[in-house]
Structure 1
Amino acid sequence: MTACAIETTAEDDDREGKQGGSGGRPTGFTTTANGAYAARLAGVGDALYVERWTLDGPEPYAVPLPLDQPEEPHAQLLPLADGRVLVCRRVDGRRRSFSLLYPTGPATGELRLGSVDAPGSEGLVLLPPSPDGICAYAMCVGPDSTTLWLVAGGAFGPERVAEVEGHCSGGVWLDRTGRMLALDRRLGDGPVKAVAVDLERGGEVTPLLQITEESDDRLLLADPDSGLLLIRSDAPSPGHDRLGWGVLGSLLPVRFPDCLRLDDAAVTPFAVQPGQVLMPESCAVALRIDAAAGSWVGTWRPSSRRMDQLAVPQGWLAGAGLWTPGGVLRLPYATPGTPCGLAALEPPPEPDPVPEPEPVAVPEEPRVCRPVPLQQAPLTDRRPAD
Structure 2
Amino acid sequence: MTAPTLEPEPMTAPTSPPAPAAPPAPPAPPAPPVITADGAYAARLALDGGSWFPERWTLDSPEPYAVPLPGHQPEEPGTEVLPMADGRVLIHRIVDGRHAFALLYPTGPETGEIPLGAVECGASRLTLLPPSPAAGHAYALAVGAGSTALWLVAGGAFGPEHVAEIPGHCSGGVWLDGEGRMLALDRESGGRVKTVAVDLERGGEVSPLLQIADESDDRLLLADPDSGLLLIRSDAPGHDRLGWGVLGGTRPVRFPECLRLPDLAVTPFAIQPGQTLMPESCAVALRIDGAAGSWLGLWRPAERRLHQLAAPEGWLAGSGWWTREGALRLPYVTEAVPCGVAELEPPAPAAPPAAVAARPVPLQQAPLNGRAGVG
Q: Could you tell me the TM-score, scaled by structure 2's length? A: 0.88
User: C-alpha separation between the residues in 1 aligned to 2:190 and 2:281?
Assistant: 39
Partner of 2:59: 55
Is the aligned partner of 1:162 residue 2:164?
Answer: yes
| Whole-Å separation in 2 of the counterparts to 1:68 and 1:188 | 46
1:250 aligns with 2:252: no
Instruction: Please point out which of 78, 82, 96 is paired with 1:78.
Output: 82
Q: Which residue of 1 aligns with 2:201?
A: 200
Aligned partners of 1:30 and 1:280: how far apart in 2? 25
Mapped to 2, the partners of 1:203 and 1:370 lie a distance apart of: 14
Q: How far did 1:105 drift?
A: 1.7
Pick closer, same or farther for the CA change 1:351–1:143 going to 2, 3 Å: same
Residue 142 of structure 1 is matched in structure 2 by 144
Matched with 1:99 is 102
Name the structure 2 match of 1:23.
Answer: none
- In the TM superposition, residue 27 of structure 1 has moved relative to its aligned partner by 7.1
Matched residue of 1:226: which SS?
coil
Which residue identity is paired with 1:172? V
Q: CA deviation at 1:303?
A: 0.3
Aligned equivalent of 1:378: 371
2:73 aligned with 1:69, yes or no? Answer: yes
The answer as to whether partners of 2:198 and 2:364 remain within 8 angstroms in 1 is: no
Please state how far the C-alpha of 1:55 moved relative to its aligned partner: 0.4
Q: Quote the residue 2:227 is aligned against.
A: 226
Structure 1 residue 107, shift from structure 2 partner: 1.2
Deviations 1:245-293 (A, max 9, x none): 0000011110000000100210000000011111100000000000010
Structure-2 residue corresponding to 1:275: 274
SS at match of 1:371: helix
Who is 2:265 aligned against? 266
Q: Where does the alignment leave 5 or more consecutive residues of structure 2 unmatched?
A: 1-25, 355-360
The residue type equivalent to 1:184 in the other structure is D
Deviation, 1:45, is 4.2
Q: Which residue of 1 aligns with 2:10?
A: none
Quote the Cα distance in structure 2 between the aligned partners of 1:259 and 1:268.
13
Q: Which amino acid aligns with 1:95?
A: R
Alignment RMSD, CA only? 2.1
SS in 1 for 2:201: helix
Greater relative contact order (CA < 8 Å, ≥ 6 in sequence): 1
> Does structure 2 conserve the Cα–Cα contact (< 8 Å) formed by 1:172 and 1:221?
yes
Kept after mapping to 2: 8 A contact 1:46/1:72: no
CA distance in 2, matches of 1:43, 1:115: 26
What whole-Å deviation, never above 9, does each CA across 1:335-380 have from its counterpart, x for those lacking one? Answer: 110000000111211112699xxxxxxxxxxxx8862423321123
- Counterpart residue identity of residue 319, structure 1: G
Cα deviation, residue 188, structure 1: 3.1
State the AA in 2 paired with 1:119. G
CA contact (8 A) 1:209 1:376 kept: yes
Q: 8 Å contact 1:313–1:333 — kept in the other structure? A: yes
C-alpha distance 247-141 of structure 1, shift in aligned 2 (>3 A): same
1:135 partner letter: H
Asked if the contact 2:147–2:168 (Cα under 8 Å) also holds between the matched residues in 1, the reply is: yes
CA contact (8 A) 1:148 1:162 kept: yes
Q: Could you say which structure has the larger radius of gyration? A: 2
What is the match of residue 297 of structure 1?
296
Partner residue, 2:189: 187
Q: Distance in 2 between the 1:369 and 1:242 partners?
A: 27
State the percentage of identical aligned residues.
67
TM-score with structure 1 setting the length: 0.86
